[in-house]
Amino acid sequence: MANVEVSLKETMTMIEGALGVALVDYTSGMALGTLGGGKDLDLAVAAAGNTDVIRAKVRTMEHLGLNDDIEDVLITLGGQYHLIRLLRGRGGNGLFLYLVLDKGNSNLAMARHQLRRIEAELEI
């Protein structure tokens, strides 16, 4: 089991093309931990904004009567992938991992695989 700090460090070092990562509480919009980012990628602002994305998707699923869970949400930009992975189990309800990848220097399938593994080892 890994704590938040270790999990964020592992995400940045083990996932090729990672530009930034955050653990976010989508009930409040607060980032509980961040690593990476920079002047062109404010992870606190991105965390709050992506909280709205998750809330909207949850509401839409409720309106549609879909009784299912969101695994992840992918937003593709010209030069980046933004991957939102909702956490399950062991106190992870209401939390998501937010990962920003350099599109030209990453493998999306491997990043999703690695993020799933990191989630499974994360102890909240």
Q: Which helix (H) or strand (E) holds 109?
A: helix 108-121
pTM: 0.92
- Domains in the chain (CATH in brackets) are 4-121 (3.30.450.30)
DSSP string, 31-72: EEEEEE-BTTB-HHHHHHHHHHHHHHHHHHHHHHT------E
d(CA 108, CA 72): 12
pLDDT in tens, the chain (124 residues): 579 999 999 999 999 999 999 999 998 999 999 999 988 899 999 999 999 999 999 899 999 999 998 999 999 999 999 999 999 865 567 899 999 999 999 999 999 999 999 998 888 7
